[in-house]
Amino acid sequence: MSSSATPHGARPVGTVVGSPYQGKVTHYKIKNAYGTSIFYGDFVKLADDNPNTTIQKDTGTATLTPIGVFLGCAYTDPTTGQFTPNQYYPASIAADDIVAYVATDPFILLQMQSDEALTQDDLGKNVGVVQTAGSTTIGTSKNAVDGSTAATTNTLPLKIVDFVDGPDSAIGDSNTDVLVMINVGHQLLNTTGIG
């Protein structure tokens, strides 16, 4: 609820062109024993992990270079030997078959909670991200919109395109829920390649 701080990362809800989010994901590898946990709703990027390009958590705040939003993963559990789907990637899993499910649409709309009140005047402004460790209990991100950064600054990574106005959220609440899109830095729209 927006009256209390319950950040949940970036949740896909639709696209800028008007269609609802249809669950499309792209599968990317995560490097064996990659040392950073990635949670459902975290921004991720492709990185050159010689000799391969793999997914890593994008830890940027004032800038991001994401390929998309992490929506879970699967791997062969090194302890049980069982195929294991998981809402989050636990750091340092030793497996060669780790696959991440990533929402890669550059025009996706994402619901996020702000870390402070946002008003109608903030509509259309750009914002940064507050990066916080996710929940290992439920596997979700705790990242939020950094409300204090709301400005016209063209390098900020997210743009506020709407507010979530309903029983659990309202414009001006102490932790306003907003709809954002990636403003700059999306790797699919960058003309420079990776690696």
Quickly count: other Cβ atoms within 10 Å of residue 33's Cβ.
13
pLDDT of 4 over the 80 cut: no
Plot region of 2 (φ>0 → left; ψ -120 to 50 → alpha; else → beta): alpha
Residue 19, helix vs strand vs coil: coil
Q: Which pTM does this prediction carry? A: 0.94
Query: 5-26, pLDDT tens digit by residue?
Result: 889 999 999 998 877 888 899 9
Q: What is the pLDDT of residue 102?
A: 98
Task: Express each pLDDT in 42-57 by its tens digit.
Answer: 999 999 887 889 999 9
pLDDT tens-digit series, residues 62-121: 999 999 999 999 999 999 999 999 999 999 999 999 999 999 999 999 999 999 999 999
Q: Are 127 and 158 within 8 A, CB to CB?
A: yes
What residue ranges do the domains of the chain occupy? Answer: 1-195
Average pLDDT in the chain: 93
> Where does residue 32 rank: exposed (0-12), middle (13-18), buried (19+ CB within 10 A)?
middle
